[in-house]
Amino acid sequence: MNEILTKMKQMRLQGMAKAFTLTLESGRNEKFTPDEMVTHLVESEWDERYNRKLDRTVQAARFRYKASIEQINYEDNRMDKNQVLRLADCEFIKRSENIIITGSTGIGKSFIASAIGHQACSLGYRVLYQHSTKLFGRMKIAKADGTYLKELARIERQHIFIIDDFGIQPLDAQSRSVLMEIIEDRHGRSSTIITSQVPISKWHEIIGEQTIADAILDRIVHDAHRIEMKGDSLRKKKQQKSEEDIESIILKN
């Protein structure tokens, strides 16, 4: 048995080795038929490899939040629940469709985007999250140090590229050019998710230069799935609840 375990580890069958060890320690091997034992070991190895790959994919995505579809709060009709659940099957990725999530600050736009991104990772898709301000800053540095094309290629390889908090400040000429190149590279080939507290009707002003703005928005907005979130800031609600809880404790004491 030790020899078999050693060979499993040498062949990097870590999941299989763990399952085999646990089976021996628990004495369950006596209850397994040969076919059942093979099935158990193969499934354990598959699960181990899947989980390792998922961990790598999630780490590479650099999400803002560790979020899942199951954790999304639909209270107060903040958004269309059916729409979010339909998008959770990630079929939009196969059709290279975009998602635009708008709403006031603190309402949960980034969480929704991260949840959809995590779901995509679990299905084997490559995802990359970037805050808009940091994205444009990083790309400007990349142009200066000669790694710009490499960064563009990395973004282009992603099945989903998440641009968070778009429109916090108007784009300058260099940022406008960067956004145009990113969107042009991805248009019709992969999906982009954009969150913004600025209504889409004002994105022309944010981007600037009418011709480029038209070209960018035509590629982003056309046929995009729009999630329009409503209601008050969840962060504000949590803060108010926390303050109320503290006040309640003080009054009790």
For residue range 22-76, what is the model confidence (pLDDT) as tens digits?
A: 887 776 656 778 888 889 889 998 888 888 888 899 999 999 889 999 999 888 8
229 and 177 in a common domain: yes
> In this structure, which amino acid lies at residue 25?
E
Three-state DSSP class for residue 253:
coil
* Residue 250 covered by a domain: no
* Residue 246 covered by a domain: no
Mean per-residue pLDDT over the chain, rounded: 88
For residue range 86-140, what is the model confidence (pLDDT) as tens digits?
A: 999 999 999 999 999 999 988 999 999 999 999 999 999 999 999 999 999 999 9
Q: What are phi and psi of 196, to 5 degrees?
A: -160, 145
* Residue 244 covered by a domain: no
| Full residue range of the structural domain in which residue 25 is found | 2-61
Three-state DSSP class for residue 200:
helix
* Residue 162 covered by a domain: yes
Total structural domains within the chain = 2
73 and 34 in a common domain: no
What is the reported pLDDT for 28? 62
Q: What is the CATH number of the domain that holds 126?
A: 3.40.50.300
For residue range 213-253, what is the model confidence (pLDDT) as tens digits?
A: 999 999 999 889 999 998 876 655 555 545 444 445 444 55
50 and 86 in a common domain: no
| Residue that finishes a domain, picked among 61, 91, 107 | 61
Q: What are phi and psi of 31, to 5 degrees?
A: -95, -15
